[in-house]
Copies of this chain bind each other. A is one copy, B any other.
Amino acid sequence: MQPSRSFASDNNAPIAPEILQAIVDANEGDAVGYGDDPWTLRARERFQTAFGPDTLVFFTFNGTGANVAALSSVLRPWEAVLCPQTAHLQTDECGAFERFSGSKVIPVATKRGKLHPLDLEPYLRAGHGVHFPQPRAISISQPTEFGEIYQLGEIAELCDYAHGHGLFVHVDGARIANAAAALGRTPREITVELGVDCLSFGGTKNGLMLGEAVCFFADETHALAAAFVQKQAMQLASKMRYISAQFDALLENDRWLRYASHANAMARRLHERIVDVSGVRINRSVDCNAIFAVVQRDAIERLQREFFFYVFDEGPPEVRCITHSATTENDVDRFAAAVRTACAAEVVP
């Protein structure tokens, strides 16, 4: 049987009720395909209200599609993007960007998955002229793949550094709402206002059925490229209204914030309830909706009989637990109790 509540990923969550209702409501009559419909117009306007009137936005089906389309609109095939070697772009997109764009992803060693200007330096002077693809962009995940948050100053500093070296700044924001909620800022304040040029704004992990939004803030000529890249990258929905309607609802009445805040609160609650469990070692800051914990293998196995979650790194082993918009306090408490039991069992051999 499928466990009733998963702590594996926010993509295990159901569609948030208001988002599902928006799909149902959009199902009235015919609508022109490919985005020339009122829902898409309205969703675009919401993004422009949120991020600024010059924002160019288009929607993709999934996160890999968003990252690939975003970067492929900017980079030419002899240009490269630098990202943490732990980035989703590097580790979880099956090389889709390289295959689609022909460009190179340069993985950069970082501390804890967070990129600092100093990490970039060796790669920028490694020129070699035409013998090496020209660094043209950096891509960071906010929050990081380990659920930690870049502080505003850190992003501003990265943007300054990047722009000073002719690099475009992309943020993989599959969970940008969780970061915004945790920082108590609007998405705009933690991206465009700090110098970010392009954002993959996540929907799927924040209550949508599916859908991501690629936002360009920079005053560049990406508009034309973006339209073709979206189509070529197989990310142009014919019945676009059903993706747009979801974003329209997500950005209405700060739902994006409400969902993400709830997910974050559930992770905090889980953290509080297991932080003192003997046999659980939490080495990373719990900033958003993810908890990483080193747990003994036997305890993991016992726990996985009841709950679904991933071992993120087989080495330690370190597990990852994710909460989401539909996680309840009761879910957390049951899971925390199960963690406690599974670890306790361990001590008695």
Contacts and interface: CB of A to CB of B under 8 A. Distances in A.
A44 to B, nearest CB: 16
Nearest to A308: B32
Nearest to A227: B130
Contacts of A30: 2-6, 12-14, 308, 326
A306 to B, nearest CB: 13
Contacts of A133: 94-95, 228
B32 A8 contact: yes
Interface in A1-39: 2-6, 8-9, 11-15, 20, 23-24, 27-34, 37-38
B91 A128 contact: yes
A233 interface: yes
A229 interface: yes
B131 A93 contact: yes
Nearest to A93: B131
A38 B4 CA distance: 13
B37 A2 contact: yes
B31 A27 contact: no
Contact of A130 (B15, B209, B210, B236): B236
Contacts of A76: 76, 225, 228
Given A11-B33, A109-B109, A209-B242, A104 B98 contact: yes
A300 B4 CA distance: 56
A93 to B, nearest CB: 7
A239 interface: yes
Given A9-B33, A64-B231, A210-B237, 14 more contacts: A2-B37, A5-B30, A8-B33, A11-B239, A14-B28, A30-B308, A32-B308, A78-B228, A91-B126, A96-B232, A131-B231, A133-B228, A234-B234, A234-B235
Interface of A: 2-6, 8-9, 11-15, 20, 23-24, 27-34, 37-38, 60-65, 68, 76-78, 80, 91-96, 98-105, 107, 109, 125-126, 128, 130-134, 204, 209-210, 225, 227-239, 242, 308, 314, 326
14 contacts: A8-B33, A13-B30, A15-B239, A20-B24, A61-B61, A61-B237, A62-B234, A63-B238, A64-B234, A77-B101, A78-B232, A93-B131, A131-B231, A134-B228
